[in-house]
Amino acid sequence: MIFITLKEKLKSKQITIGSWITTGHPAIAEILSFAGFDWLTIDMEHSAITLTEAQNLIQTIELSGCVPLVRVSSNDPVIIKRVMDAGSHGVIVPQVNSVQEAKDAVSAVKYPPKGTRGVGLARAQGYGIDFEDYKKWNNNNSIVIVQIENILGVENLEGIISVEGVDGFIVGPYDLSASLGVPGEFENPKYLQAMDTINKVINKSSTIAAGFHVVPLETGMVLDKIKEGYCFLAYSLDSLFIADYARKDLLKIKGDLFSVRPYLKKELNK
């Protein structure tokens, strides 16, 4: 059996589906890994997850047969270096708006001469006994995904994706709409125009993996994005899986219960 890495899938623009982890408990990572996602991103930008928790999550995801990525809090070489040393297979870097920022992200992941990453002997390097193998792995398999979530990134997208070492990009719809002054208004002409610009770039590029984070629990939206040419799809996030299904099922139970015993509604509202 030939094992195809996520890096190779990105290069060939194969469709992969992952999700977002915002809760620092390993059980969450294990449950989502066993669900069959191709990759899982540990969110260190908009969560309370610490570096220690991130390393535990990385271990859990990896041992569960899934690919661990980390969305770092910023395009900071120290932060990127630390999550890579913890064993992440790659990073998703937020707010990449220029060619130089894309180059900085790649440089922070790669060792010299390809980059400027300092050498540490942590989990990724076998705690000091596996550096040479890790160095080869890092050069060939580490993943850099830039996040396009500002209109400046949209305007510079063609240049950004041409940077050597960038494996793909992923659109952050909420922040992108916010950068246009219309946060969450996904039918607003400004947002639609920005997305049209992105889609034109996707159609022109035969090599870059285009990604999109579909946050709502709407599978049809994922299929729509695939039809538009996106292949690196993030589907929702851990907390929303729990909250949405719990809310829907509870409302259904209560609704069915009240239809059978109407007096209970009055009792519960006291």
Tens digit of each residue's pLDDT (9 = 90 or more) over 43-66: 999 999 999 999 999 999 999 999
CA–CA distances in Å: residue 148 to residues 188, 195, 201, 210, 249:
18, 11, 13, 10, 35
Q: Which residues contact 112 (CB under 8 A, 6 or more apart)?
A: none
Amino acid 266: pLDDT: 59
- Assigned domain for 248 exists: no
Residue 201 burial (CB count, 10 A): 18
- Assigned domain for 267 exists: no
- Assigned domain for 91 exists: yes
Give the residue numbers marked as catalytic.
46
Amino acid 179: pLDDT: 97
Q: What are phi and psi of 118, to 5 degrees?
A: -75, 155
Q: Which residues of the chain have pLDDT under 50?
A: 1
Amino acid 262: pLDDT: 62
- Assigned domain for 255 exists: no
Q: What domain range includes position 87?
A: 6-240
Tokens of 6: 């996520």
Look-up: residue for tokens 């770039």?
201
Instruction: Please tell me the pTM assigned to this model.
Output: 0.92
Per the structure, the count of domains in the chain is 1
- Assigned domain for 232 exists: yes
Q: Taking a C-beta distance cutoff of 8 angstroms, is the pair 6, 233 a contact?
A: no
Amino acid 1: pLDDT: 39
Amino acid 263: pLDDT: 55
User: What is the Cα–Cα distance from 22 to 237, expressed in whole angstroms?
Assistant: 7
- Assigned domain for 153 exists: yes
Report the SS3 class of residue 130. coil
Report the SS3 class of residue 199. helix
- Assigned domain for 194 exists: yes
Q: Is 65 left (phi over 0), alpha (psi -120 to 50) or beta?
A: left
Question: At 246, which helix (H) or strand (E)?
Answer: helix 238-260
Q: Taking a C-beta distance cutoff of 8 angstroms, is the pair 199, 226 a contact?
A: no
CATH number of the domain to which 36 belongs:
3.20.20.60
Amino acid 169: pLDDT: 98
**Average pLDDT, whole number, for the chain?**
93
* Amino acid, res. 266: K
Q: Which of 50, 75, 229 is nearest to 149 (CA)?
A: 75
- Assigned domain for 204 exists: yes
